[in-house]
Structure 1
Amino acid sequence: MIDFTVLDQLLRQYVDENGRVNYQDWSQQSYQTLMNWLKTVEQLNPKSLSHPDEKLALWINLYNAFVIASVLARYPINSILPRIFGIQNWLAFLWFFSHPLPPSRRYSLNQIEHKILRREFNEPRIHFALVCAAIGCPLLRPGAYWTESVRSQLEEDASRFINNPNKVRYDLSSQTLYCSRIFKWYGDDFLKVANSIPDYIRAYLKTEIAIASHTPIIYLDYDWTLNDQRISS
């Protein structure tokens, strides 16, 4: 079984309850610790793993760790986009950063998300766990994902995301549902397990408001500001 202890300790040390990262201290104190852990994982062949939940936890942890490592290598920055590329192109961010894993190939963030996690797992809740270092993303969990609890952790993530008014809110006066663009970008994944986006949200939203399948949706602007503790909300 893969040992996520080092990653877990780093996340607990540098990520707060609001999902913000202390990149400044992490870059100065423990950047090499993260890189050393990644090097040990890079010796692993993911195809050797037999348990689906072990693979799921591995790829989610690797995605988030790769993002953090990529930010730390370029810190200080205020956003994952303009400083790195000079243009607002998040797809470039996802494709640009790649990391080696056996058997002798490199994986971009885009490939991990779309070619592995979305293709191999019928699990839309991954979209509440994968964090590309922007405030508009889900809140980064202050700890690693574990084989024995990854599904329950994803359930917690889904509930936390949908009950965060910065991500999802219902306007009673206009009877309109405002929600993150994640539900637009990955709508097909959510519609595999629900009849509509409002239906999916309603299953988690802690409210007595009667949201219906046909409830109008307005997608919120996405905040690409770095999820950095030194940057105020």
Structure 2
Amino acid sequence: MLFASVSMLAALATLYVQGLLPASAPSADEPFHYQGFEKVLRHVQPDGDVDFSSMGRERAELDRFVASLASFSPHNRPDVFPTSEDALAFWLNTYHALVLQQVVDGYPYLESVEQPWPGRFFWARSWPVGGRRMTLWSLRHRVLSGEFADPRVHLALFHATRGGPRMDSSHFQPEYLHSQLNEASRRFIGDKRNVRLDRDTVHLARLFETYREDFLAALPEGRRGNVLQFVWAFLPDTCEERPGCDTRADLDHACGPKLDRCHIVFEAEDTSLPDAAARPSRTER
């Protein structure tokens, strides 16, 4: 009896984390739209930091948008999201909205997504989304990674860390989605915190190791053995916009034409919040 109960609880926990438990999908009062969420994003700074304090003071639009997700998703309303671009844009915007709401709910006490222990931020809470209770973990791993074979998503997905992809001040739009994903990839890879050359060593964000197989799978045949091939594709040709950046020519010179002469070091991610407000550290309080 005890074994059966434990097994049932374990099965329910698995379904919960993977976002497979059912939720009510109430009838919507109006058609689905992103206007409110676009207003929320005005609190994102040009450098990608977020003014969580002001977002929290004006959180009504964020809460309304999150509430609207209960009625809609590409899974239960494919008529509203008829193309793959519509669907992917929805899931990206949904993930970002839920991340922002969770940070705002914990602010100002929340200083890192690692609080109170690593991983909890992404699986301990769920939201009703189109008839399912979804966790951030399920959105990222089961939906975004499982249904869309596009590694650029990893470079565009804001998960509330200073060392991860930065938030943009515009929501993802189906008609501009590919250019937005390309720009997010160029922005991430062009940042020396994520890609930095030091003679024959390339320092890469840990994200490239975590999702290495996804990046390699997107490369043409013959180039799938080296994640630097993916990095090269999004490095700039010149550093006119980002003085001091590393370019494609720099990577070619350091690593050779096959990009196989360099040593790769994967750097740990700074998991503190990209908070636009200057808050003292705990040791300074």
Relative contact order, higher structure (CA 8 A, sep 6+): 1
Residues 69 and 128, structure 2, Cα contact 8 Å, conserved in 1: no
Which of 44, 51, 56 aligns to 1:27? It is 56
SS at match of 1:159: helix
What does 1:100-115 correspond to in 2, within 5 Å? 100-103=128-131, 105-115=132-142
- In 2: Cα distance, 1:108 partner to 1:128 partner: 20
Aligned to 1:93: 121
Residues 197 and 213, structure 1, Cα contact 8 Å, conserved in 2: no
Aligned to 1:221: 268
SS at match of 1:114: helix
Aligned to 2:26: none
Segments of structure 1 that go 5 or more residues without pairing to the other structure are none
Residues 9 and 143, structure 1, Cα contact 8 Å, conserved in 2: no
Which of 121, 124, 129 aligns to 2:156? It is 129
Aligned to 1:36: 64
Residues 15 and 141, structure 1, Cα contact 8 Å, conserved in 2: yes
Aligned to 2:44: 15
- In 2: Cα distance, 1:231 partner to 1:117 partner: 33
Aligned-pair distance for 1:224?
0.7
CA RMSD of aligned residues (A): 1.5
Which of 64, 75, 96 aligns to 1:64? It is 96
Residues 4 and 146, structure 1, Cα contact 8 Å, conserved in 2: no
- In 2: Cα distance, 1:60 partner to 1:98 partner: 16
Instruction: Give the aligned residue type for 2:91.
Output: W
- In 1: Cα distance, 2:157 partner to 2:62 partner: 18
Length, aligned pairs only: 222
Which of 167, 170, 175 aligns to 1:140? It is 167
Structure-1-length-normalised TM-score? 0.91
Instruction: Give the aligned residue type for 1:3.
Output: H
Instruction: Give the aligned residue type for 1:112.
Output: L
Structure-2-length-normalised TM-score? 0.75
- Greater Rg, structure 1 or structure 2? 2
Runs of 4+ in structure 1 off by over 6 angstroms are none
